[in-house]
Amino acid sequence: MQNNVRPESMERITTKALADAFIEEQIAELRAQIGDKKVLLALSGGVDSSVVAALLIKAVGRQLVCVHVNHGLMRKGESEQVIEVFGKELDANLIYVDATDRFLDLLAGVEEPERKRKIIGGEFIKVFDEEASKLEGISFLAQGTIYPDILESDGVKAHHNVGGLPEGMQFELVEPVKLLYKDEVRVVGEALGLPHAMVYRQPFPGPGLGVRCLGAITRDRLHALREADAILRAEFDNCGLAESVWQYFIAVPDFKSVGVKDGKRYEGWPAIIRAVNTRDAMSATIEEIPYDVLHKITDRITNEVPGINRVLYDLTPKPIGTIEWE
Ligand code: XMP
C-alpha cells in the first residue's frame, strides 16, 4: 500500500495528459492490489467517491460493489444522477437503498442541530452496515479519502468510517486518490469521463438538506426546501454564477409569515438564500448577486414552490455567520 505522505517530487495534476497517466498507473496498482476479489464502496455522488468509483470500475469492473444510500436529504435529482451515471452509463454493480423513511422517522420532532447531525451520521453507518452484511466475499473497502483529509484529520471520512462496520468484518482499505488535492481529483474525474456537473459540484454537507430544513424537519417543509434549492441552482446555472460562486443554497426556517396569494391570505415559510465565496470555509464573503437575478429567483420560488411566500437574502459574512445555518 502507498503510504500517507505525498512525495515532494509528485507533480500537481493539472492537465488531461497528467490525469491520464495517473489513471493508467492507478489501474495497474488497483488490479495488483485487488486481484479477483471484491471491493465495497459507499457512493454518495460527491466528487471524491464518484471519482474513486469510476477509477475502480475501469480497473476491476463489476468486482466493485457500490452502495448508494439515499437518506432522503439529498438535493433534487442527485440520487437519480448516481443511478443514471453509475448504474446505467458505467454499468456499475450498484445497490441503491432508499432509506428516506428511516431517516425522516428518526428525525421527526428533533430540533437540536447537533442531535440531528448525530442521528443522520449514526443511521447512515447502520444502513451501510446492513447492506454490507448481506454481501458475501468482500475483501476490500474503498474510500474517497483525499490528501486534505489526511492532513486535517485522522484520514478517515466520517461517513465512510471503517470503524463503523460490524465487528468481524475485516476489510483492507483501497484509497486511490488519497494523495491528491481536490482540484486534482476534479481533473482526474473529467479525464475519466464523469459529467462536468458531478465533478465540479459545489460542497454539500454530509447531513445534506437536514441542516438547511431548520429545526424539526417536516416532509412538507423539506419538499419546499428541495424545490426552492433546485430553482436557485437552475438560475445560477442560467446566469453563469454557478461556475464562480463557491457555495450557494437555500435554508428554510420553521416559522411562517402572513402573505397574500390570489387575493387570499397565504401563510408560508421564507426561503433564505445563502451564496458565499471562500478559499477554505474558515471565513467567507457574500456574493454580489445582480438584482435582476434575485428578482427572477424570488419570482420563481414564490410562484412555483408550495408553502413559500417570501425570499430573503442573507448578507452575513463568516464570521459572524457560519456558512450553514445549523
Ligand atoms: P460552516 O457552517 O461551519 O461550514 O461555516 C463550513 C463548510 O462545511 C460544511 N459543513 C459540513 N460538512 N458535515 C459536512 O460534511 C457537516 O455536518 C457540515 N456542516 C457544515 C458547510 O457546507 C461548509 O461548506
Q: Are 188 and 178 in contact (CB under 8 A)?
A: no
Q: Name the 3-class secondary structure at 94.
A: strand
Q: Once rounded to an integer, what is the mean pLDDT over residues 251-269?
A: 97
pLDDT of 256 strictly over 90: yes
Cell numbers representing residue 13 in the block = 495534476
In single-letter form, the type of residue at position 181 comes to Y
pLDDT of residue 162: 42
pLDDT digits (tens, 9 = 90+) for 36-75: 999 999 999 999 999 999 999 999 999 999 999 999 999 9
Share of the chain above pLDDT 70, in %: 94
pLDDT band at 78 (very low <50, low <70, confident <90, very high): very high
Judge if the beta carbon of residue 44 lies within 6 A of ligand 1.
no
Judge if the beta carbon of residue 121 lies within 6 A of ligand 1.
no
Distance (Å) from CA 151 to ligand 1 centroid: 18
Q: Once rounded to an integer, what is the mean pLDDT over residues 297-315?
A: 98
pLDDT of residue 55: 98
Round to whole Å and give the CA distance between 26 and 43.
Answer: 19
Distance (Å) from CA 211 to ligand 1 centroid: 9
Q: Are 79 and 70 in contact (CB under 8 A)?
A: yes
Distance (Å) from CA 204 to ligand 1 centroid: 8
Share of the chain above pLDDT 90, in %: 93
Query: Kind and range of the H or E element at 197?
Result: helix 196-199
Distance (Å) from CA 205 to ligand 1 centroid: 5
Q: Once rounded to an integer, what is the mean pLDDT over residues 109-121?
A: 98
* pTM greater than 0.85: yes
- The residues facing 314 across adjacent strands are none
Q: Once rounded to an integer, what is the mean pLDDT over residues 13-39?
A: 98
pLDDT of residue 170: 78
108-116 long-range contacts (CB < 8 A, ≥24 apart) are: 108/216, 108/217, 108/218, 109/216, 110/216, 110/217, 111/215, 111/216, 113/211, 113/326, 116/207, 116/210, 116/211, 116/217, 116/326
pLDDT of residue 160: 43
Q: Whose C-alpha lies nearest to ligand 1, atom 10?
A: 205
Distance (Å) from CA 326 to ligand 1 centroid: 9
Judge if the beta carbon of residue 318 lies within 6 A of ligand 1.
yes
Distance of CA 148 to the CA centre of its chain: 17
Q: Which atom of ligand 1 is nearest to the CA of 204?
A: 22
Please state which of the ranges 7-21, 153-167, 250-264 shows the lowest mean pLDDT.
153-167
> 222-244 burial, b for 16+ CB within 10 Å, e for fewer?
bbbbbbbbbbbbebbeeeebbee
Q: Whose C-alpha lies nearest to ligand 1, atom 20?
A: 205
Q: Are 79 and 104 in contact (CB under 8 A)?
A: no
pLDDT of residue 154: 54
Q: Whose C-alpha lies nearest to ligand 1, atom 9?
A: 205
pLDDT of residue 3: 80
Average pLDDT of the chain is 94
